[in-house]
Chain A
Amino acid sequence: MTDEDAVRRPGRGFVVKIWDAPTRWVHGLIIALIGLAWWTESHDQMDWHIRIGCALLGVVLFRLAWGFFGGATARFSSFVRGPGAVLRYAAKLARGGVAEEGVGHNPMGGWSVVALLGVMAAEIGVGLFCVDVDGLESGPLADRVSFQAGRAAAHWHTVLFNALLALIALHLCAIAFYGIVRKDNLIGPMLTGRKRLAGRNGDATGASPSRGSGVMFWVSAAVAAGVAVWASLGFKI
């Protein structure tokens, strides 16, 4: 037994590893890179803004791949649920039901992840084509489009960034809600990967969710990094 497996302590519930290391690193990198992208843009450091955007592209691509090859709680198949499950969960939450004992994203949180990743992917994709008002600063793929199209891309880059900020605000509100109202600390497990479960319901069997594929980790990371670097060079050979 390693420390990643569940540890049963009588009367204290289970400690279960719920977020694998790549998922936590992706989360941390996204926070750091969005902050840097924002800072460099508002301080007229466009060369760095573009590099950071390409790095973020790599991180998001890796996360999308990890959604198929990662640990159980990182996989889209485990957390993208139908409208029925979302509504049932929302109703339970509204009634103030017993805290969920399941591990991983709840049915509403799953869609929050999908929305965040989707808007980030769109934001970065559009960013590659942006041109500034002077026609002098531009994304690595802007030479494929007209000045006018590049300006339109810059407009959408702003719209999508505001959408992303709104989603982040919602995300933070949800974390505060779980922390304050439900007494469920979501931040700790995202830092350490581990969560203590009371073991009140049948979901908590004491087994940690299965881990991701080691080989696919390296394959995904290498491909994502390659695409990020290639994008920064304008996909030129």
Chain B
Amino acid sequence: MATWHGGTRRVWRSALFAAAGLAVVTVASAAAADVLGVIAARHAHFKEIGKAAKAMSEQLKSPTPEIPVVQAAVKQIDALAPQLPSWFPAGSGPAPGVKTEAKADIWTKPDEFKRDAAAFAEAAHKLDVIAAGGDVSAIRTQAQAMGQTCKTCHEAFRQRDD
């Protein structure tokens, strides 16, 4: 009977391991789904900014820009810009099976990343204020300054994909 007991114990032990394994897999995949959700939301936010920036710069390239279009686009960028650091929670960086252009440096050099993000938010807000004034040449100058903050941060913290 000892063998039977041992056998039973072994079965229970196996079942316990299986349950624990399943729990680990479930938690891990839930976490993975969470990360993918975070990244999808991040991409959606950046696409909103890109869309608004495209609408703005198309107007500013024209000799006769439609100021209300520029103002609406700039207001949208100004609203989104301060949120940017919150789109990069810990654990949402590059990992196998995760499609992101975010470089690991975002989390290893958080001060520099926050400084670049703050420069963007500041430039976007300044642009919003200037756009409200309606002076096209002043808007063009500040739009370029803001664009430079995009580039600075992207060069340091974004993996080029195109």
Binding partners A and B: yes
Q: Which residues of A are at the interface with B, using a C-beta cutoff of 8 A?
A: 44, 131, 133-138, 142-143, 146-148, 150-151, 154-155, 157-158
Q: Is the CB of A136 within 8 A of B47?
A: no
Least CB separation from B144: chain A residue: A136
What size tier do the contact residues of chain B reach? 10 to 19
Complex formed: what's the CA distance from A142 to B58 in Å? 9
Q: Is the CB of B162 within 8 A of A150?
A: no
Q: Which of chain A's residues has its CB closest to B155's CB?
A: A44
List CB contacts (< 8 Å) of B28-45 with chain A.
none
Give the number of residue pairs across the A-B interface with Cβ within 8 Å: 50
CB distance from A87 to the nearest CB of B (A): 38
A interface footprint on B82-116 (CB within 8 Å = 1, 0 otherwise): 00000000000000000000000000000000000
A155 and B49: CB pair below 8 A? no
- B50 CB within 8 Å of chain A: yes
Per-position 1/0 for B39-63, Cβ under 8 A of A: 0000000010111111011100000
With A and B bound together, what is the CA distance between A137 and B53 in angstroms? Answer: 10
Minimum Cβ distance to chain B for residue A165 (Å) = 16
The 8 closest A-B pairs by CB, nearest first: A135-B53, A135-B54, A135-B50, A134-B150, A147-B51, A154-B162, A136-B147, A143-B58
The answer to whether B158 has its CB under 8 Å from any CB of chain A is yes
Tell whether, in the assembled complex, residue A148 and residue B47 are in contact, meaning their CB atoms are under 8 Å apart.
yes
Closest to A148 in B: B47
Given contacts A142-B54, A146-B51, contact A134 B151 (CB under 8 A): yes
Query: In the complex the two chains form, is A133's CB within 8 Å of B57's CB?
Result: no
**How far apart are B6's CB and chain A's nearest CB, in angstroms?**
61
What residues of B have a CB within 8 angstroms of the CB of A146 in the complex? 51
Closest to B77 in A: A135
